[in-house]
Amino acid sequence: MSSAVTHVAMVRKLFPDWDEEISRLALSNETFRDMCEEYGLAVEALDMLEQRNHPRDVDRMYEYRTLIRQMERDLKYELLAAYNPDRAGKS
């Protein structure tokens, strides 16, 4: 499985109610696909740091958690905007 497919699957797991929409959007929208890739890479990097569990990585883990939360908001916004433009500004 390619990393792009793996990362899109991570986003589908994050938003299970949007499974089909995420797959369609990832196939048709390069920007969304790139967002999924960046999200997946950030989650993988955080997982690696957490497994290593080194005290000097605490600040980097915090930064990754903050980045991941922002990416999750951005992904949700993109989904809402793509499939229901009226709801995009309301969440």
Q: What is the pLDDT of residues 1-35, one digit of tens each?
A: 578 889 999 999 999 999 999 999 999 999 999 99
Helix axes 58-83, 30-52, angle to 10 degrees: 160
Q: Is 53 strand, coil or helix?
A: coil
* Structure confidence at residue 89 (pLDDT): 52
Measured between alpha carbons, how far is 66 from 63 in angstroms, rounded to an integer?
5
pLDDT in tens, 37-48: 999 999 999 999
How far is Cα of residue 55 from the mean position of the Cα atoms in its chain? 26
* Closest listed residue to residue 40, CA positions, set 79, 77, 14: 14
Kindly give, in sequence order, each residue whose CB lies less than 8 Å from that of residue 77, ignoring residues fewer than 6 positions away: 88, 91
Place of tokens 């986003």: 11
How far is Cα of residue 65 from the mean position of the Cα atoms in its chain? 12
